[in-house]
Amino acid sequence: MHESITDWSAFRIVSAIAAREVTAEAVTAAFCDRIEAIDPTLHAFVWFDRAAALRTARALDRASSGNVLHGLPVAVKDNIDTAAIPTRYGSVIYADHVPATDAACVALMRASGAFVLGKTALTEFANFQPAPTLNPRNPEHTPGGSSSGSAAAVAAQLAPVALGTQTAGSVIRPAAFCGIVGYKPSPRLIPRAGVKPNSDTLDEVGVFARSVDDAGWFAGVLSLARPNTLPSTRAFVPSVGVTMTSRASAASEAMRVAVARAAQTLGAAGAKVGDAVWPAALDRLFDAQRTIQLFETARALGPEWQYRRSDLSRSLQGLIADGRAIDGGRYADAIDVGRSSFAAIESLFAGRDVLIAPAAPGEAPLGTETTGDPVFNRPWQLLRCPSVTLPCGDGLQMLPLGLQVVGRPGDDQRLLAAAAWIEQALGAQAAAATS
């Protein structure tokens, strides 16, 4: 079978452009062709301009190719500001909004030689009112949210990598539902300036890719780490703790089986695997994260509530009203839950390198009226733990299941190296099962 450029990894694309094996224009044209063929029914993009993309690619071909991301087309979630390109935040309120400057992550990306291929759909203000995007594996199911378009674009090979954001589970969950890799870094590793805020405590910029190597390498450039090696070159056999948190009953049977099967596979491949005991002290994280998100989102969207309330969906109006009803004392208590819970992190990890847990309750739910439940993402977000979603097989509806690999706050390099090994082990098992 003939391999298309759109099958290539992001790292291979940049390497091939640098070696002059292919032009940035040829790469861009391949992705543009695929967008034009598939996106009219997928609805991953809310802004795409083929002519503009090709002009940018041709300019990059004429320029020096010394930059680390030179020629890489990137899909960018539409709550992330892009200079001279519409940024609408998933709301009619900003239908004509064109920022004058880039968000910091986009500026870093462009300075490294990448460019904005298109802007991807998101839920309204990155909350819960669904975007029009469909799941690439089955259009009758949600792709997840809020980074709906970014996850779908990478899964459908409309872009090699994409930027997303997460406040509860908006990178990890859609990556799981679409069967790709999602990486939510430790706090502030990728700068948030220029991203429409929801929660100053919780918001983070993350990335979507089709491999841990691409996700870690791309995110490393945006964090100014500029890694010289891919996560797979640092891969090691990790010690792994297995946890369903205290919400195992929220997981489908297929998800519980998938986590158990993954643990067995990793153990057979040489990892030291054991159950991680979920401390009772962490049980308050679920409600505390939601309280903080509601309280801070209601205030972040205060101007929209005040001046354009009728242009907000009823569901978002209800969410903001709930957040406005939370008093300062309850909010302070929730913040304190997050702070006091840090002490239990080492008890949970118990000396292990990483933990594995569900990335979502199961497969993508049927219908597009919901983006799924972030229950298995909330505690890690408030704990500030970096996380990676890895595909771990399909469920009963033949839709992807996602395994969440979790690291300690600030321990992103170890997380990515361990996730690269886990990805390889799970992939080898899947290949053996189908051979």
User: Six-digit token pair at 177?
Assistant: 């539902």
**Is 170 part of the annotated catalytic residue set?**
yes
147 catalytic, yes or no?
Answer: no
Q: Which of 91, 112, 146, 186 is catalytic?
A: 146
| Residue 327 structure tokens | 């008093």
Catalytic member of 91, 147, 148, 170 = 170
> Do 109 and 218 touch, CB atoms closer than 8 A?
no
Instruction: Tell me the residue type at 389.
Output: T
- Cβ within 8 Å of residue 99, ≥6 positions away: 81, 82, 83, 84, 85, 87, 194
In angstroms, the CA 271 to CA 117 distance is: 40
Q: Which of 77, 119, 184, 196 is catalytic?
A: 77
272 given a catalytic annotation: no
Three-state DSSP string of the chain: CCCCHHHCCHHHHHHHHHCCCCCHHHHHHHHHHHHHHHHHHHCCEEEECHHHHHHHHHHHHHCCCCCCCCCCEEEEECCECCCCCCCCCCCHHHCCCCCCCCCHHHHHHHHCCCEEEEEECCCHHHCCCCCCCCECCECCECCCCCCHHHHHHHHCCCCCEEEEEECCCCCHHHHHHHCCEEEECCCCCCCCCCECCCCCCCCEEEEEECCHHHHHHHHHHHCCCCCCCCHHHHCCCCEEEECCCCCHHHCCHHHHHHHHHHHHHHHHCCCEEEECCCCHHHCCHHHHHHHHHHHHHHHHCHHHHHHCHHHCCHHHHHHHHHHHCCCHHHHHHHHHHHHHHHHHHHHHHCCCCEEEEECCCCCCCEECCCCCCCCCCHHHHHHCCCEEEEEEEECCCCCEEEEEEECCCCCHHHHHHHHHHHHHHHHHHHHHHHC
Active-site annotation, residues: 77, 146, 170
